[in-house]
Structures are given as C-alpha cells and as structure tokens.
Chains A and B, each alone.
Chain A
Amino acid sequence: MGIWFPWLPSDRRRDDLSPSHREDHGEETSAAAFALVERSQNALRLSAVSPAAARLGLTAGLALADARARVPDLVCLPADPDGDAALLRRVLVDFSRFTPMAASDGPDGLILDVTGCAHLFGDEVGLVDQAVTRAGRFGLDVRAAMAGTPQAARALVRFGPGGITPEGHDRAAVRRLPIEALELAEGDLQALRRAGLKTVAAVDDRPRAALAARFGKAAAWKVDRVLGLEDIRITPFRPPDPCVVDRVLLEPISTDDDILRVVGDLLIETSARLEREGLGGRVFQAGFFRVDGRVRRVTVQTGRATRDGPVVLRLFRERLAALTTPLDPGFGFDQVRLSVVRAEPLAATQIDLDRRPDHAADLTGLVDRLSARLGAEAVLRFQPRDTHIPERAVRLVPANLSPPHRLHDAEETGPPRPLHLFDPPQPVEALAGLPDSPPRRFRWRRVQHEVVRAEGPERIAGEWWRRLEPTRDYYRVEDAAGRRFWLFRQGLYGDEAQPRWFIHGLFA
C-alpha cells in the first residue's frame, strides 16, 4: 500500500499563518495561498506551496521573485525540512500498527507491506479507510493506493487515481499512467516525449533492449519494476521480529487490568506459535498503540528461553508496575502487539516423576523477576577479567546475561583483597617514610588513623598498552582500633608530581 501526502509541508504549517491573515480570509485557511521558502543555489526559492497557491500557478522550485511577481500578496513562511521529517516519522510510527513492515518513501510518503494484514482491519477497503482517517487526524491530506508490488503502488498513488488495484491487474493499471510515473531523469522523459511515447503502455510495448540501449539498463529495470514484473522488497524502518501477534481492539482500553489481560491473551497465542516452531523467547516486547498515534513499547528479558505464558506475564506485570515513566494511555490503546524479539531453540522438556526442585530454574526465574522489577542494571554478577588493575579485575555485569565463564582457577591465591572497593578511590592524607615505607598515619573523612600494622608495598603498574597510568604501591594497613584499610600511593617519590595517597577498599 502506497501512501502519499501531496501537501505535507504546507499542511503542517497551516496553523502557522498569522491570525490576522486568517481573519482576512475568514475560517477557510485551506484556501489560503502560501508558500514555504528556502535558500538554495544562492537564491530564495519556493520549496513547497499550498494547494491554493498551486491553483494560482505556483510550483516548487520557482524563484521567490518570480512568485511574488505573479502573486503579489503571497504569504511566505520559512521552510523547515526537519520538522517535516519528524512529522513523517510520527505518521510512520503510527501506521506501523497496520503492519510491522513499514517504511518511508521519499520525504512525503510511506510504503507499507500489508500482505496478510488486511483481515485485521476489515479487508483492504477498511484498511485504506482507516489509513485515510488516521492521516486526517494528523491534519494531512492523503492519497492511498494498493497494488501488488511497492513500485507499482508508488506509481499509482502519485501519478494515478489511487485506489485498490485488484490482484493481477497491476500491469494494466500502471500502463494507463503517463510516463512521469517512471520517474526517470528529466532529459530522458523529454526524449521519450519527443519520440511520441506519452504513456507507460507505449514504453512497455517497445522492446526493452532498445530502451536499455538508449537510456541505460537502469531505465529498463525501472520500467519492469513499475509494471510489477520485478519485485523489490522494501526495507522496513524497524526490522521485523521473528514472531509478531496483534490484537486490534474495538474499544480503546486504558486500565492496567485490561492491558494485562490482553497481553496475557497474546502470550497464549505466542506460546502456541513458539511451540509449533520449537522455539523459546528470550526477549519479549509489547507494543501499545494509542488512539492518537503514539506508540509505547515495553520489553522484558528472560535468562533462559521460555514459552511459559504466565511466567512472562508476571514479568510484564512487574515491569509495568516499575516503569519510570508510567504507561500513559491518553485516550486509550486501540491496538496491542506482542513480538518475540529474540528467540532460541527450545526443546520440550520432560518432567521427572519425582518432582525434584529445579534450583537452577528457580534462580533464573528470580533473576528475571528482580531484573524486570528493578531494572537489568540492578541485579548483578561478578565477572572476573584478565587484568591486574584492581578496579578492573572484577566487573559487575547484569545477571540476566548468560552465566560468565571462569577466567582463572580458584586455586590461585594472591595477595589478600578487600571485601569492599571504592569506585573511584577516595583521596586521603598520609604520612609515610621515604622511599616506600607503609604510611604511619593517615587522615580519611576527617578522622585520623594511627597505623599499627602494615603490609606492603604491592606494586601494581599501569597497563602500558592502554594508557600511561601512574604506578601504584598498595599497602594493607590496620589501625589501633582494629580496622583494616587498603591504601595506595599513586606515583613515586622523586617524580615531578608529588605522589598522592588514596584509599581503595576496606577489609573486614
């Protein structure tokens, strides 16, 4: 289905006309003739015109001076291509409710692959009606056409009467279009006109080889594609997910219970589908389409592939309850889509006759629930890394990812390490004998500590292949009260800069 907004820039700016202007012309702002002006090629040119201005003979590309000459009281507004693109994107996001395979087509159109989607919206006629209605909500004038291939749909909507072309009649419908529908270079079109070929039918009747010889292979391919003989798939703006299930609601819903009930129903359908393919989902995403066109997506992750509907529903419930910006239904959601973003093979499992508790599964279930409720960055595991820099030696990673591999043997023992580590290390003032004796006393958080026992230095040099970090000498010290600290001195005495002391961690 091809969608074209012929007057997108001017429709968007209709409300920008000054109130006085609106008064002059009464309530009929659509009858106002105005144009959008941009600077191109060192001159001010019209980038877009309103329908009324077009009727007066103005077109895009005209110089502003010429336009003013023709229509002295033409109202001009500055062009804003970014704003136009943003509006088109919002419409694209809204129209992705019809199908996940949606893409923008130029700066003023959309192309949607609605194969197999029409039944959800009352067949093709209903689909086109809904598209027109929704575009109207954005305040845009719209044309729509449905055909068997994307290129045919584009040609029909921009250069033809639009409407739904029955299956198999694409070629006949496109043949009736003028040669502008081929969208070749202006010089090529002139040549075709001079040769007496005014419609696509005339071009089609000529042998393709002659066309290719005169205008190049690209032109011949274009003709084939427009006629629907060759089919290029569109690239959707969001790659489609492996498994997508939609539910269109007759009445918009806005309460949490209803939302969860619909999600639950969709999960049942999704589980059935996943089971048929022998897959389990790792990442599930629920898309909520608002009546006014906005879309909100909520994602949950699981540690292991699963098809268990109730388990995933519970994760969604935790997630929705814990959202930082709550799910705002506005006037209600009228479509809910559940997609499985990542799926993995999952064989059917056999339940033991004596049901032993599966601790591993319970643990991943707990991790999933806590991650859904608190966020994936809140549930962490320790992952060892192959580096001797203390703060990098062990990293905290979200527990949702697959369990980490051991990097080194457990038997390996090194110098003692503290239970707690400060990130970043906190500066302290320390008094130590030269050149590398342990500190005799130090001051941290406004408390003076007298060092009674100390061990060190343990020299940890920076990793030369990363960047030049100063060498650190670590000391394990104990104060009179029995508290043990991990201090280090950054830099050596005798260097240009004064060495500084830090506390990196606390021992128990």
Chain B
Amino acid sequence: MHDPALRLEALRRRLARMDGQAPSDASRFDLGHPQADAGLGGLNRRALHEVQAGSGADLASADGFALGLAARAAGAGVIAWIVQPMTTAEAGLPYGAGLADWGLDPERVLFVRTRDATRLLAAAEDALRSGALGAVVISVWAEPKALNLTATRRLALAAREHGAAAILVRSRLSAQAGPAETRWTITAAPSRALEDGAPGRPALTVRLDKNRTGAKPGQWVMEWRSDERRFADLASVFGDLVPLVAQRPAA
C-alpha cells in the first residue's frame, strides 16, 4: 500500500470498473475486492499462483478460492481442473451444479483425473501450452515428490509463454518456496447469515503470504458473490441489505 504508483493503478482500475469499462490491462486480473486489489494491483494472468489450504479440512474452501481466481482470470475462456485420486477421495468429485452455482459455466470446465502426481504435472503442462484454455487449476495432494522446484518452474514458464493462468492448489501448508507469483493461504470463515439463521454466501479467510509485486502481505475475510463473480469484503459490509435467496425451499 505504500507504493504510490500501484495505488494509482488500482484506483484507475476501480474507476474504470465503476464506469462500466473493461480494464485496459488485459494481462492482469483482479479479485474484485477493493482492499486486496489496491494492495496488489491485480494479479498477473500469465503466471503461476499458489493456493494452499490452512488445514486438511479447509480443502473445499481452498478449491473455492482457486475456482474464483480461475473464473476471474479466464473470463469467458475454458477452465481445466486437474486432480489426483486422493483429492477426490478426501473432498469428493466436483459437482456440475455446484460449479454453476459458483458462477462458472459447467460446459466450459474440463475435468481431468490422473493417476499420480507425475502424470498430473505432465497433463497440466500440456494444458497450459495448448493455448486453448483461460486457466488451469491443478489440485495436488500433500507434498508429492514430483512437485519439486523444477516442476513448478516449468509450470510458471508454460503459463507465461502461453497466456493461461496456472493455479496450484495444495491440500496442506507447505514450506516450499517457489516461483509462484502470489501465494495464498485459505481457511474457512463463518458466513454472513441470511434470514432464519441460514448460512450465507461462501466466506473465506484469505491470507496473502507472498507476492512478487512487492505488496505487503495481508489478511482479509472475503465472501464470494457468484452473481457478480467477484470477491467482496465481508468484514466491512454492515449496512448492505442482505439479498434473499431466489427460491427458498419450503421449511
């Protein structure tokens, strides 16, 4: 937040968004979250970003955040989601209706299941290099041996050269430093309740650990708004009217 140039850029982008214009810099995408965007100045679309779950139980939240990033990075493009068997055993298979609820178009999501980590990384690289995808979400389980520094560097290189965002999701905290442009740690957060005490929109505690743009690490509580396809800040929104869910099931 101390870099005036970054703040200026973020402000310009916010103005453009409020005017309804698309941001002029096509190689960056943002979260839609004012404070995080202001601090970061947007995320590089042609780069590798790492998302890690705060604990094994937060894997679903981490997946959600990664899909949110992918949705914003890919725009109208196709997203590929590549998983290992352990991930689907722990958290379950992706659900098309859930993806639709998240704001993604299930027809523009390609789901790839691989048998082990080596094949996973090879498939991810192939997907990034194909040039046909907007974003590739790579879910790895634990710390596979195959995911070493060389492997992450190759993914980052493929993302940079071919213009697709690579989002690596780890199922647990990892101390490995890598060439990722940004690193996020996600844990679940209590949502803002709807009427009758129903759970509200998905809420996440998002912590930015490291990033290469030099912005300071920070932590926010965000909620994902699937209708606007963006992350909104949860802690600061108090006066907003809570929208009713369109079709409430009969109690």
Contacts and interface: CB of A to CB of B under 8 A. Distances in A.
Contact of A484 (B106, B126, B196, B199): B199
Given A419-B60, A455-B196, A508 B131 contact: no
A453 B130 contact: no
Contacts of B110: 363, 367, 379-381, 399
A476 to B, nearest CB: 6
A483 B61 contact: yes
Interface stretch (A123-131, A263-271, A305-313, A368-376): A368-376
A403 B98 contact: no
Contacts of B67: 419, 508
A413 interface: yes
Nearest to B119: A374
A344 B99 CA distance: 34
Nearest to A437: B251
Interface in A347-406: 357, 359-360, 362-363, 365-367, 369-370, 373-374, 377-384, 390, 393-394, 396, 399, 403-404, 406
A484 B246 CA distance: 19
B147 interface: no
A410 to B, nearest CB: 7
Contact of A419 (B98, B114, B194): B98
B70 to A, nearest CB: 12
B199 to A, nearest CB: 4
Interface in B89-119: 91-102, 105-107, 109-115, 119
A410 B100 CA distance: 8
B63 A419 contact: yes
Given A367-B110, A478-B191, A384 B96 contact: yes
A419 B94 CA distance: 6
B127 interface: yes
B24 to A, nearest CB: 22
Interface string B160-200: 00000000000000000000000000011111011011111
B135 to A, nearest CB: 13
Given A380-B112, A482-B203, A365 B102 contact: no
B199 A455 contact: yes
A381 B107 contact: yes
Contacts of B65: 508
Nearest to B130: A366
Nearest to B81: A380
A499 B238 CA distance: 40
B115 to A, nearest CB: 8
Interface residues of A, number: 61
Contacts of A456: 249, 251
A453 B244 CA distance: 16
Interface SS of chain A:
mixed
Interface string B187-219: 111110110111110111100000000000000
Contact of B247 (A413, A417, A476): A413
A505 B78 CA distance: 24
B132 interface: yes
A453 B92 contact: no
Contacts of B247: 413-415
A418 B126 CA distance: 29
Contacts of B130: 362-363, 365-366
B162 to A, nearest CB: 10
B123 interface: yes
A251 interface: no
A483 B188 contact: yes
A196 interface: no
Interface stretch (A93-101, A206-214, A420-428): A420-428
B131 A357 contact: yes
A506 B88 CA distance: 12
8 contacts: A373-B119, A374-B119, A381-B107, A417-B97, A419-B98, A420-B98, A421-B98, A508-B67
Q: Which 9 residue pairs of A and B lie closest in terms of their CB atoms, listed nearest first? A: A508-B64, A394-B96, A382-B96, A362-B132, A455-B198, A420-B92, A482-B188, A421-B95, A458-B249
Interface of A: 357, 359-360, 362-363, 365-367, 369-370, 373-374, 377-384, 390, 393-394, 396, 399, 403-404, 406, 410, 413-423, 447, 452-459, 476-478, 480-484, 505-508
